[in-house]
């Protein structure tokens, strides 16, 4: 799998007449599943942070009301650019809400692995909302944008702001939450080259409520936090346990855990040097793993 380094494509002009947004990777530092709701969704408590690394979305306005999508990048060949693509669905949802015949030519550079637990599709949808509301000069209140986002996926509302936040419910309850010393902390992302179905991982959850998530600081996240989907994911793809064991043996490690429904795992390090040493060692030992060095994105 291709490696990746941190790139920060900030929103703003990219070329004449074109706008750009970064779909920042989402990391669940902890994910507690509290139960299953009557509507079929699971009740979650999770601390979301985002990295400086992400997919890149660019857009140019077109006058005929059509929306086109081109996809490239290391993982672009794994996605279809047709009407079922979440970027296209997001653009269509925004067109319906605005009740205007607005169009755009979009290009997604897919840097993040697909179906990997770091919110790639959700982040792409959120980036699409941010980009098109600017491109179409259609600002809207945050609560309205979040309602549209929630209709597209449970993680999409949190991905709009891409800041550290506690996320509850199915993803509709958002509370910004800063963790001291976490901003810009080095974080290593590792995916062993397997894709997991979120629905199937949730289907293997043992339905035990192991208690609420308290996240007043990093030490508490390390000692009391957990990912309740980690063991179900390992049962489906045992290689995830190998990734966590390899990360656990790295010097300077603060926390290693799986993100979301997997299979991407993350490791927080005290210093850039320790992260770089870990990445070098892992790349030498596992040439087929996707390994990305980046940082926690500042709020």
Q: Is the dihedral of CA 79, 80, 83, 87 positive or negative?
A: positive
Name the H helices within 225-271. Answer: 230-236, 239-248
Tokens encoding 138: 């259609």
Q: Are 70 and 108 in contact (CB under 8 A)?
A: yes
Q: Residue 205: CA atoms inside 13 Å, Cβ hemisphere, count?
A: 25
First CA to last CA distance, the chain: 30
- Residue 65 CB neighbours (<10 A): 11
User: Which of these is catalytic: 26, 55, 107, 124?
Assistant: 26
CA–CA gap between residue 4 and residue 89 (Å, rounded): 27
Does 242 qualify as catalytic in the annotation? no
Identify the CA nearest to 130 among candidates 154, 103, 162.
162
User: Which of these is catalytic: 55, 124, 155, 228?
Assistant: 155
Tokens encoding 243: 């990734």
- Angle in degrees, CA 220, 35, 30, rounded to 5: 25
Does 26 qualify as catalytic in the annotation? yes
Tokens encoding 11: 């929103």
Helix 120-135 to helix 86-98 angle (10° resolution) is: 40
The catalytic residues are 26, 155
């Amino acid at each position: 799998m291709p490696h990746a380094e941190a790139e920060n494509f900030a929103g703003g002009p990219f070329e004449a007449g074109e706008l750009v947004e970064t779909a920042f990777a989402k990391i669940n530092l902890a994910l507690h599943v509290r139960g299953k709701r009557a509507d079929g969704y699971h009740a979650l408590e999770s601390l979301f942070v985002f990295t400086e690394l992400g997919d890149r979305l660019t857009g140019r306005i077109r006058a005929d009301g059509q929306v086109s999508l081109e996809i490239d990048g290391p993982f672009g060949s794994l996605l279809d650019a047709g009407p079922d693509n979440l970027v296209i669905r997001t653009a269509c949802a925004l067109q319906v809400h605005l009740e205007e015949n607005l169009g755009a030519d979009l290009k997604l550079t897919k840097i993040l692995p697909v179906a990997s637990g770091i919110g790639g599709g959700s982040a792409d949808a959120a980036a699409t909302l941010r980009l098109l509301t600017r491109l179409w000069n259609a600002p809207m209140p945050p609560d309205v944008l979040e309602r549209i986002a929630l209709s597209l996926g449970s993680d999409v509302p949190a991905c709009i702001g891409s800041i550290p936040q506690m996320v509850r419910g199915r993803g509709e309850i958002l509370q910004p939450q800063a963790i001291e010393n976490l901003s810009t902390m080095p974080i290593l992302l590792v995916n062993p080259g397997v894709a997991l179905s979120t629905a199937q991982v949730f289907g293997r959850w043992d339905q035990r409520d192991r208690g609420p998530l308290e996240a007043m600081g990093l030490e508490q996240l390390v000692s009391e936090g957990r990912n309740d989907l980690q063991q179900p994911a390992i049962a489906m793809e045992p290689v995830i346990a190998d990734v966590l064991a390899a990360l656990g043996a790295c010097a300077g490690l603060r926390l290693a855990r799986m993100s979301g429904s997997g299979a991407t795992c993350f490791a927080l390090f005290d210093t850039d040097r320790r992260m770089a040493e870990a990445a070098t060692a892992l790349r030498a030992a596992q040439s087929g793993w996707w390994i990305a060095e980046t940082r926690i994105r500042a709020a």
